[in-house]
Chain A
Amino acid sequence: MELKSYKADLHMHTVLSPCGDLEMGPQNIISRAKEEGLDMIAISDHNCTRQVKVIQKLGRENGILVIGGAEVTSQEEAHCLCFFETDEQLDTFQQFLTEHLPHIPNDEERFGYQLVVNENEEIEDEEPYLLINAIDVDIEGLYDKVHEIGGLFIPAHVNKPSTSLMSQLGFIPPDLKADALEISKHVTKEAFLKKFAYLKRFSFIQSSDAHFTHLIGETYSIFHMYDLTFDEFRRTLRGEDGRFIELKQ
């Protein structure tokens, strides 16, 4: 078997995130991903996975692998991407999020709508509690939970001067059990590692963190792997058998 290259944008928000544009519905996301030639995207709303499955269905119909998960705000207010393979894992993780997100109602006027829509982009539900709050679980508790369920844990935009593991904790804990680190579009991996050589052991991804449709695919990573599956995605993060990730902007 030969390595193939797959274009991946693994961080974006939908209409479920209060900050996500109302155009970020399932159909628009998939059609924009197709236009951009993306093979793989990840749906990562703030502290909620409820928009994942409908986009996965549309993705399957269009030959795009949709990785499901959430961008979780840890107790320290560090944003972390958490990804899962199966519906059962997603459901277990959603239960965990529901249990640990504070019950502070969303104020739509101030923060924006938190919509769950179906594949025809009709509103089915609204998330009642403000999703941009922090859950009451610290970073270690969070990655332990993600790994216990069988998911992948990737601290988001670690170079960002706010809401990142590095801004909140000063530096990445040396014993952090992360499956990769995400850097934002504002830095290259080379420039980042020049400043933080102690992070060399990690795999890196770079993604758009799109809140608007036109930004989908603006920043992406190329996954060199044998097939387009979640398991291959996981193995590529680990660099198994020659698989590797190339960062593109």
Chain B
Amino acid sequence: MKVKELVEKLNLTVISGEKGLDREIDGCYVSDLLSDVMGNADMGNVWVTLQTHKNVMAIASLKELSCVVFVKNLNPAEETIEQSNEEDIPLLSTSMQTYEVVGKIYQLLNS
């Protein structure tokens, strides 16, 4: 599945990194500890988090994740957005909380 299909199916808001909407998704990782994501997320993962610090983008790019989904309408810092546009890794947001959005992503990726 591509990032743009995920956006359509879950009605996510695209904050930045539009050029990366064609990235292929391979699995999902859920964590708010950036050191944990650094150690355990895999390439192509959708990353669901509530952390909005610019280091989120640094880690997404290092781990070559497909996109980042911020829960509960949280807004990333300006620098996070800038780096997302530079790296073409989309930042997405949803009003859903983690439990809800992750359940839906699980269904989509495993159907």
Contact = CB atoms under 8 A, between A and B. Distances in A.
Interface in B13-49: 33-35, 37-38
A169 B31 CA distance: 12
B77 A170 contact: no
Interface residues of A, number: 12
B53 interface: yes
Interface in A166-199: 166-171, 173
Contacts of A173: 53-55
B58 interface: yes
Contact of B53 (A76, A161, A167): A76
B51 interface: yes
A64 B52 CA distance: 41
Contacts of B77: 138, 140
B59 interface: yes
Nearest to A173: B55
Contacts, number: 35
A173 to B, nearest CB: 6
B26 to A, nearest CB: 21
Contacts of B33: 167-168
A167 B37 CA distance: 10
A222 interface: no
B54 to A, nearest CB: 7
Contacts of A76: 51, 53
Contacts of B37: 170
B36 to A, nearest CB: 8
Contact of A168 (B35, B52, B54, B58): B35
A170 B54 contact: no
Given A170-B37, A170-B38, A138 B53 contact: yes
A139 interface: yes
Interface string A145-174: 000000000000000010000111111010
A155 to B, nearest CB: 13
Nearest to A171: B55
B12 to A, nearest CB: 23
Contacts of A168: 33-35, 51
B83 to A, nearest CB: 12
Interface in B47-71: 51-55, 58-59
Looking at A76, A139, A170, A173, which has the most chain B CB atoms within 10 Å of its CB?
A170
A166 B53 contact: no
Nearest to A174: B58
A192 to B, nearest CB: 15
Interface in A27-50: none
- Top 8 A-B residue pairs of the complex, sorted by shortest distance between their CB atoms: A170-B34, A169-B55, A170-B38, A170-B35, A169-B34, A167-B35, A170-B59, A170-B55
Interface of A: 76, 138-140, 161, 166-171, 173
Interface of B: 33-35, 37-38, 51-55, 58-59, 77
Given A138-B52, A139-B53, A173-B54, 8 more contacts: A138-B53, A167-B35, A168-B34, A168-B51, A169-B53, A170-B35, A170-B59, A171-B38
